[in-house]
Amino acid sequence: MTSTPLKIFQIIALLLFILCSGVIGYHLIEGWSLFDALYMTVITLATVGYGEIHTLSHAGRIFTIFLIFGGMGILLYGVTEMTAFVVEGEMTGYLRRRTMKQRIGKLSNHYILCGWGLKGEHVLDELLRTKRQCVVVEIDANKVIRLHERNAMVVEGDATHDDILIIAGIERAAGLVATLPTDKDNLFVVITARGLNPKLRIVAKVDEIGTREKFLRSGANTTVSTNFIGGLRMASELVRPDTVNFLDTMLRDNSSLRVEDVHVGKRSKYLGKSIKQCDPLNDTRVLLFSIKRQGSYQFNPSRTTALEEGDTLIVIGEPEQIATLRSSLSHTPTS
């Protein structure tokens, strides 16, 4: 299918062609000036009924007949196509895609979701609930329409193509999730994404456990096997149902609690200070229960533990308070 910009270009090109043909034809056949030839061409194509500005020769009249038929055909085609743009919504879709591209162009440190299927839908919901900006890459036109209805940021196209991921802002993104239907497609996404952004965190869905190493070698930071996770969930429901129910409660729409990672940046004003001196951690709505330092975890760290660059705090709390904590520990607040 021809894209909207190309159709508009074709219509304009045809109109210019017939206009130039008329000017050149009258100039060569009748010897008229270019302005007179242009005026005659315009009134002929517009069919306004004005008389001939100069007497036409026999050859000039034959040329005028062909000019009228050709011009009317092109004008009718142009009007039909432009009407179709409006009636079929193509023009609206084109303008919407341009607006969407401008919105995405302003994003940074956002997340890209490749594939809005059964699993991708839950990924998008969780990212939005935790106040993270997300761009969905989806090839199914019907799903794209549904995403637009949700006011989600979406790029229509194949996530395995470089240009589509570039439009989604992959060079400025913080992370990417690949949830396409097959391992082969997800592997292509991983390879493509890693080549475009070496610092990107990539999480990929895998169906076959044996393909995990291939994904990791291809650039994925980690993989998630729904079959493996499903089996663990069933075992957990069997032996620790209350713990599972507690975690489920945090992930439901009616709960605002989340378990999050918060990294300590080198520009934080709390760098080198103890936990009890970190004001955001004294908020009763944020609970610190572990620190990851140099690859190992310190559970229930002492309040006198000093924060170091590169530490990752594992906290539980409401998204707004966690966002405040993350901002404080990552950057030096402006006065």
Each residue of 199-234: pLDDT tens digit? 999 999 999 888 899 999 999 999 999 888 888 889
Say what the pLDDT of residue 331 is: 63
Say what the pLDDT of residue 93 is: 64
In this prediction the pTM is 0.61
Structural domain contains residue 251 = no
Identity of residue 138: E
Of the candidates 329, 318, 275, 265, the one whose C-alpha atom is nearest the C-alpha of residue 298 is 275
Say what the pLDDT of residue 194 is: 96
| Residue 330, number of CB atoms within 10 A of its CB | 14
| Residue 293, number of CB atoms within 10 A of its CB | 17
289 vs 116: CA distance, rounded Å: 33
**Residues 172 and 287 placed together within one structural domain of the fold:** no
Q: Burial letters for 217-235: b for 16+ Cβ neighbours within 10 Å, e otherwise?
A: ebbbeebbbeeeeeeeeee
CB 173 within 8 A of CB 199: no
**Residues 266 and 200 placed together within one structural domain of the fold:** no
Say what the pLDDT of residue 114 is: 96
**Residues 12 and 114 placed together within one structural domain of the fold:** no
262 vs 283: CA distance, rounded Å: 15
Structural domain contains residue 292 = yes
Of the candidates 133, 125, 144, the one whose C-alpha atom is nearest the C-alpha of residue 107 is 133
CB 19 within 8 A of CB 41: yes
Structural domain contains residue 42 = yes
Structural domain contains residue 122 = yes
Q: Which of 198, 231, 264 is the last residue of a domain?
A: 231
CATH of the domain at 308: 3.30.70.1450
Say what the pLDDT of residue 86 is: 64
Note down the domain range covering 70: 4-88
CATH of the domain at 18: 1.10.287.70
**Residues 82 and 137 placed together within one structural domain of the fold:** no
| Residue 43, number of CB atoms within 10 A of its CB | 15
CA angle at 104 for the pair 99 and 107, rounded to the nearest 5°: 140
**Residues 119 and 216 placed together within one structural domain of the fold:** yes
Say what the pLDDT of residue 335 is: 38
Structural domain contains residue 101 = no
CB 11 within 8 A of CB 77: yes
Q: Burial letters for 275-284: b for 16+ Cβ neighbours within 10 Å, e otherwise?
A: beebebbeee
Mean pLDDT per 10-residue section of the chain, whose length is 335 residues: 67 88 90 89 80 83 88 84 65 72 91 93 89 93 89 92 94 95 94 95 92 93 89 88 80 70 85 86 82 89 89 87 82 49
- Total domains present in the chain: 3
